[in-house]
């Protein structure tokens, strides 16, 4: 690979992988060298991540990456890490993790919202941070901590980078999801730390995507068979930032493509890429977020409940001895008529695990309709509800940001869901371009390649490389089917 070989550690809420990305002028070839499941666990009275197990998988993955590269006589130029946002681990002065990190699905932060808002008016919070209100934003989670004396908070990708390098940093795209970050200045909102009684060095200093965190600790280097001089490079460590960087939108006729994106996995992150944040009252009311993207862009988006709704149903059904294959389930759902019952996929009611089919049916019942206790019907309801949520969100984003959308790009695991892609085209009335599945890993690799000087140019060039090297699926809106899908 003339442009270099880069290792991407990409951990989503449902699974993780370590991928080698070989960059050439023809594109990026990905080789997945290690895959592992992820999910919340009930531990010590809360819903947490089994971080120790995840870190062991990271090491196993890096070892596999080293072996795969060595087998071809290649050298890994750097390592980049991205995971889901918001959550953090607490480390003491000796660098030990004091507990397995809580998951944002734990309920504890819900009761912290009112006390935080009593100290900091939510309108003021929004004006500075531009962050959507979610009960699990880091700011509310931190408010539940009893004693932060002598501890530092490391966001999950930063925690992994710290354990690999010994260097503590907070990567900026992920810092923008904490509720303690100034969206305009691109710095910590220090006045909010003071107002909440948090030390201003609770988080380590910021680092930007493309900057080097450090090199591997000798002990880690030995364990994974990589040279200790191997750098860990900050990427868009918020997985959604990396995914959006790899949306294969290409400039068309000299004009940037007017695209919306849906990063489709456990969550659906639906929105636009902007140069400047939108911090208006209307934007706050619509609960749009202004998270940071790579190259100083703004990810103007909304969390729409995602495929969590479906994966949780699958988990419940499996527990009842019914384990339908995903493809079969989607085919059966696709055969059902348009216009069936829908739920509000964003409802916080769906955040926690446990009996998702029952909760979805209860939510439908509250709308005065009936949803059959049938996996195909429930799956169809989820897909119709998500598509309607996407359409609503894109229309609102256009209005609030004063932009028009010509095409909707769907990236991530959910881009393989042909039913959802078609329903999305129908509901939005726009063509949908689906893929790549591994957009997040691609964004991770390409930011490393850019930092190494192997890719010459900004985001537009990254996207051109992705678009050239990926086969994409296209869906045209079916007007006849539309009526049943829009609100």
**Binding stretches for ligand ADP (CB under 6 A):** 12-15, 265-266, 307, 310-311, 326, 412-414, 416-417
- Of the candidates 70, 95, 94, 235, the one whose C-alpha atom is nearest the C-alpha of residue 164 is 95
End-to-end CA distance of the chain: 49
Tell me how far, at minimum, the Cβ of 483 lies from ligand ADP, in Å.
Answer: 26
Q: Which is nearer to ligand ADP, 14 or 208 (CB)?
A: 14
Burial class (CB in 10 A: 0-12, 13-18, 19+), 366: exposed
Neighbouring-strand partners of residue 474 = 433
Four-CA torsion 225, 229, 233, 237, nearest 10 degrees: 40
Using CB under 6 A, pick the residue from 162, 188, 261, 267 that binds ligand LRH.
267
Q: Which is nearer to ligand LRH, 22 or 238 (CB)?
A: 238
Q: Which of residues 61-120 bind ligand LRH (CB under 6 A)?
A: 84-86, 104
- Of the candidates 274, 281, 385, 381, the one whose C-alpha atom is nearest the C-alpha of residue 337 is 381
121 labelled catalytic: no
Q: Does 162 bind ligand LRH (CB under 6 A)?
A: no
Query: CB neighbours (10 Å) of residue 80?
Result: 32
> Which partner in ligand ADP, ligand LRH, none is near 438 (CB below 5 to 8 A by kind)?
none
Q: Quote the CA–CA distance of 298 and 272 in Å, as a whole number.
A: 8
Tell me how far, at minimum, the Cβ of 84 lies from ligand ADP, in Å.
Answer: 7
Tell me how far, at minimum, the Cβ of 359 lies from ligand LRH, in Å.
Answer: 20
> Which partner in ligand LRH, ligand ADP, none is near 85 (CB below 5 to 8 A by kind)?
ligand LRH
Annotate each residue in 189-228 with x if it binds ligand LRH (CB under 6 A) or - if it does not, as one string: ----------------------------------------
Tell me how far, at minimum, the Cβ of 329 lies from ligand ADP, in Å.
Answer: 9
Number of residues binding to ligand LRH, judged by CB under 6 A: 14
Q: Which is nearer to ligand ADP, 277 or 375 (CB)?
A: 375
Tell me how far, at minimum, the Cβ of 12 lies from ligand ADP, in Å.
Answer: 2
> Which partner in ligand LRH, ligand ADP, none is near 413 (CB below 5 to 8 A by kind)?
ligand ADP
Catalytic choice (82, 106, 239, 384): 239
**Phi, psi for 101 (deg, rounded to 5):** -65, 140
Tell me how far, at minimum, the Cβ of 131 lies from ligand ADP, in Å.
Answer: 20
Q: Which is nearer to ligand LRH, 168 or 302 (CB)?
A: 302
Q: Does 240 bind ligand LRH (CB under 6 A)?
A: yes
Q: Which is nearer to ligand LRH, 238 or 463 (CB)?
A: 238
Tell me how far, at minimum, the Cβ of 260 lies from ligand LRH, in Å.
Answer: 16
> Which partner in ligand ADP, ligand LRH, none is near 138 (CB below 5 to 8 A by kind)?
none
Residues catalogued as catalytic = 239
Residues forming contacts to ligand LRH in the complex (CB under 6 A) are 12-13, 84-86, 104, 238-240, 265-267, 269, 303
């Amino acid at each position: 690979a003339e442009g270099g070989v880069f290792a991407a550690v990409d951990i989503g809420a449902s699974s993780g992988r370590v991928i080698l990305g070989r960059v050439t002028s023809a594109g990026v070839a990905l080789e997945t060298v290690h895959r592992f499941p992820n999910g919340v666990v009930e531990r010590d009275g809360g819903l947490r991540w089994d971080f120790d197990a995840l870190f062991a998988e990271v090491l196993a993955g890096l070892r596999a990456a080293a072996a795969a590269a060595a087998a071809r006589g290649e050298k890994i130029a750097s390592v980049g890490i991205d995971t889901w946002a918001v959550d953090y681990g607490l480390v003491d002065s000796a660098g030990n993790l004091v507990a397995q990190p809580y998951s944002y699905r734990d309920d504890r932060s819900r009761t912290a919202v009112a006390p935080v808002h009593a100290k900091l008016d939510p309108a003021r919070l929004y004006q500075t941070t531009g962050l959507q209100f979610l009960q699990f934003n880091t700011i509310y989670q931190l408010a539940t901590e009893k004693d932060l004396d002598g501890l530092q908070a490391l966001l999950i990708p930063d925690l992994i980078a710290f354990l690999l390098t010994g260097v503590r940093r907070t990567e900026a795209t992920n810092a923008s999801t904490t509720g303690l970050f100034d969206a305009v200045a691109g710095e910590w909102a220090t006045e909010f730390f003071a107002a909440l009684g948090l030390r201003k060095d609770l988080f380590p200093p910021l680092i930007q995507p493309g900057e080097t965190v450090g090199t591997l600790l000798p002990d880690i280097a030995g364990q994974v068979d990589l040279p200790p001089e191997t750098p860990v490079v900050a990427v868009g460590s918020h997985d959604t930032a990396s995914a959006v960087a790899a949306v294969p939108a290409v400039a068309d006729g000299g004009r940037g493509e007017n695209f919306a994106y849906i990063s489709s996995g456990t969550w659906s992150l639906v929105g636009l890429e902007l140069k400047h944040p939108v911090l208006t009252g209307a934007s706050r009311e619509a609960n749009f977020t202004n998270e940071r993207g790579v190259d100083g862009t703004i990810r103007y988006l909304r969390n729409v409940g995602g495929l969590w709704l479906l994966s949780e149903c699958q988990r419940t059904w499996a527990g009842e001895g019914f384990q339908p294959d995903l493809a079969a389930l989607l085919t059966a759902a696709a055969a059902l008529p348009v216009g069936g019952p829908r739920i509000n996929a964003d409802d916080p009611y769906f955040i926690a695990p446990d009996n998702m089919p029952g909760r979805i049916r209860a939510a439908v019942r509250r709308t005065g309709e009936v949803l059959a206790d049938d996996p195909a019907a429930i799956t169809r309801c989820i897909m119709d509800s998500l598509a309607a949520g996407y359409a609503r969100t894109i229309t609102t984003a256009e209005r609030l940001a004063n932009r028009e959308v010509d095409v909707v790009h769907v990236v991530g695991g959910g881009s393989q869901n042909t039913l959802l892609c078609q329903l999305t085209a129908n509901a939005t009335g726009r063509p949908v371009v689906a893929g790549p599945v591994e957009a997040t890993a691609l964004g991770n690799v390409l930011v490393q390649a850019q930092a190494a000087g192997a890719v010459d140019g900004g985001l537009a060039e990254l996207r051109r490389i992705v678009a050239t090297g990926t086969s994409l699926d296209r869906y045209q809106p079916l007007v006849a089917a539309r009526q049943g899908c829009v609100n």
